[in-house]
Every structure is written in C-alpha cells, then in structure tokens.
Structure 1
C-alpha cells in the first residue's frame, strides 16, 4: 500500500465510486472500474480486490431491487455460468500476471465492440425455447468466464437481459441477484488462487465508504442523468483503460 502514489489512490477511489453507481443505477458501468484497478494493481490481485467491493455493492442492489427478480431466468443461466466460472478459474491457475492483464484488456475491448455493434445493427434476438436455451448457454458461459477472470460480466449480462426485453425493475432485480450469487460463488475460487491478499483487503476497507456513498448517490440520481451520455463516457474511458492494459 505504501507503494501506491496519490494518483493511484485517486484512480482506485474513482473505480470504487463507479462500482457503487453501477450497482445502484447504471448496470454494466463497472467495466471502467475493472480497467482502473488493473492499471494500478497487479492484474491478479486487482481481480480479487475489486471482487470484495463488488459484493459490498451487491448488498445495496439487493436492498433496492431484490423483489423484482425473474427466478426462471436465473435458473436457466446457472449451468452455463458454472461452466464459465470453472473455465475462468483454470485459466487463472495457469496464467501469468501479464497474460491476465492482456486477457482483461481483450475482454473489455471485445465486450465494448459487441455492445456497439449490436446497437448499431439494431439486433433482434431470436425467439422460442431453443433460442432462449442457446442464448442462455452462450451468454451464461461467457459471463461466467469474464466475471471469474476480470469481473467484467456486467456488459455481457446486460446485453442478455436487454435482448430479453426485461422491464426496468425486472432487469435491475434479476441483475442484482445474478451478480450477488455469482460474486459470492467466486470467493472460494479467488481465495484458493491467491487473488485475495491481506494488502487487497486493507485497500478494500479504505474504499468501502466510497462504494457506499456512490451507491446512495446512485439511488438519488437514477432517472435524473442522461443514460446515453453516461454510457458514452463509460465506453470511451473503458476503451482507453483497456488499450493501456494491452500495451
């Protein structure tokens, strides 16, 4: 911790604030926090450090939206998510810190690219039971892998829920339960792989008040800020952060 500069602490604080906002009002925005943490901390340690802050944010999301979840959707996603989590854990067990940084960068860029492409093309998902099963398998496994390796499943799962045309409250409630369950499930993997360190826990203790304050502020500003403008800013900063990690 003593090696962190003032600028590094500012970046971590901004990342923690983004986590609080993403959980309370702007799902998917946490990819910016992933880039900031990975730019400041060793890549593997950043994954474990940010996980604990995400769980704190999950508590606020559940308090606000816990009654609006679509449980059938969560059950449909569960098998594929488990496969993705295991695949991500295996990758982390053998990958070097440099490879984890590159993978985080590639995942962030890929998620942004797919998001923008789908919006530009106005993609309409298929319908019917088979289409739902295929979508759940693809998005669930990718979401499990990206959340295990980089805590970057927010945009992936947001696209899945948007494609399903979830009402706003059902979207927020299902997302809240999904990430709360997944993030707690990741804890044993992260501890076993050495991703959660004493130094990381100390950093989290310092940043928890920032997450809490940002989550409360997020509840207040929900509906008062232009979603389109915020998304553009987050996407731009995420791309910059990902390119920095890649090179």
Structure 2
C-alpha cells in the first residue's frame, strides 16, 4: 500500500471529482483525475489504482440510470471504443513514463483549450456511424491510458441534445463496458500488483461518496462554476506534466 501522504492529498480529490462526473455532474471534469494523481506517482500506476475504483462507480451509475440509454448510439460508439482500447494497449507499452507524462499533459491542455474556446452554437446532430466510430475510438484510447474518455465521447453525444438522464445512462453503459474490457490488457501488463490493489481498496469507499456528491451538486451548485475551477487546475497540472516530461526526455 502506498504510504506517502502527498499521494492521498492528490488521490482523494481526484476520486471524488471522478465520482461527481459519474453522478451526472460535469462528465468532462473526470479528465483531471489521473493527471492530478500523476503529481505523486507514475501515470501508469495512477491509472491502475483508479480502474477498480471506477468499476464500483460504474455499478452505482448503472443502477442510478437503469433502463435509460440510447441503443443506436451504443451500437456505434462501443465498437469504436474497442478499437481504441486495442490501439492504446499496444501503443502505451512502448512509451516511457516521461513520454506518457507529455502525452497526458498535452491531452489535458488540449481539453482545456477546447473547453475555453469551443463554439457555443453547435448545430444539433443525430447519430452518425463515421463520427460516432471515430470519437468512440478516441474515447477508448484516452480511457485506456488515463481514464479520460469523457470529453471525446461528449464531443459526439452532446450535439445530439439527448435528454439528461438518457445521456447519462448511455454514458454509464458505455464506460461500464469499456472499463470491464480494460481489465484484460491491464491484467496482462501486470498492473494489478499487491501495492496497487491494496491502495485501491483503501480508496474504494470514496467511490459511492463521489457519485452521490455528483447527484447532489447537480441540483445545488452551478455546473459552470465547477467546470471553470476544475479546468483551471487541469490546465495547471497539464502544463506541469508537460514540463516534467519534457525535462525528463531532454535530461
């Protein structure tokens, strides 16, 4: 089990934020979790510790949004996600920890810039095999590496303007399937050693707390305010990871 207090200072808010996203409060903010934990441990270890916790969150989300999903969209995005997971499982093993830090930092900064500068006048769209397959694959890839599949899949689903519970139910099933499938390559890569599993077990009780907190905040606090705070810190963390990774590669 990890005993470094700084790790838990990073991990506790990271898990609560991810749980809030699973609870329906700002799905995109979950992207901050692995970068935040990566300030204390390697990105690979952070992702491994987080995956069992996400499975519990998925179970709570599936129960909360049971019977509410978009079958046409799931038939499109799930096959794409499987391709993305395969690409991720092959590609990430050839990257050093510093290169992974650079990749995570780049994705974090890119997601922030997209959030801050994207057009607010998106045209309403319906399901699309091409767009859905592409963004499903991107979501599978980023979800495999840093559990950050939310923003890519939101890019595809949000323009459809699905009813809130239908949107969250669709995402609940999507990520439940994706995370279960990710168990296979994570296990084959030896990610679930004793240290990671014990640490995940210690943090596991935070999972339902975060999800329920998301349900509560969904009706009590301005989502825009939380988004601004989370994306600001995500940008700061992303820049730090870019600098750390860059210095590691050059040095």
| Residue 20 (structure 1) aligns with | 19
| Residue 45 (structure 2) aligns with | 45
| Residue 107 (structure 2) aligns with | 107
Distance 2:225 2:2 in 1: 36
| Residue 11 (structure 1) aligns with | 10
Superposed, 1:18-167 pairs within 5 Å as 18-26=17-25, 27-120=27-120, 122-124=121-123, 127=125, 132-167=128-163
Note the C-alpha offset of 1:164: 1.5
Distance 1:225 1:197 in 2: 39
Higher mean Cα deviation, 206-215 or 107-116? 107-116
Note the C-alpha offset of 1:128: 6.6
| Residue 197 (structure 1) aligns with | 193
| Residue 177 (structure 1) aligns with | 173
Distance 1:111 1:30 in 2: 11
Note the C-alpha offset of 1:212: 1.9
CA RMSD of aligned residues (A): 1.7
Q: Is the 8 A contact 1:108 1:152 kept in 2?
A: no
Give deviations 1:99-131, integer Å, cap 9, x for gaps: 1121111122222223333245x3326x577xx
Distance 2:3 2:239 in 1: 24
For structure 2, which runs of at least 5 residues remain unmatched after alignment? 244-251
Distance 1:200 1:63 in 2: 27
The total of aligned residue pairs comes to: 242
Q: Is the 8 A contact 1:45 1:197 kept in 2?
A: no
Q: Does 1:209 align with 2:220?
A: no
Q: Is the 8 A contact 2:34 2:43 kept in 1?
A: no
SS of 1:223 mapped into structure 2: helix
Distance 1:50 1:243 in 2: 22
Give deviations 1:172-214, integer Å, cap 9, x for gaps: 1001111001011101111112233321111111111122222
Q: Is the 8 A contact 1:49 1:200 kept in 2?
A: yes
Distance 1:63 1:128 in 2: 26
Q: Is the 8 A contact 2:19 2:207 kept in 1?
A: yes
> Which TM-score applies when normalising by structure 1?
0.91
Distance 2:210 2:141 in 1: 27
SS of 2:219 mapped into structure 1: coil
Note the C-alpha offset of 1:8: 2.3
> Which TM-score applies when normalising by structure 2?
0.90
SS of 1:36 mapped into structure 2: helix
Structure 1 runs (4+) greater than 6 angstroms displaced = none
Q: Is the 8 A contact 1:66 1:177 kept in 2?
A: no
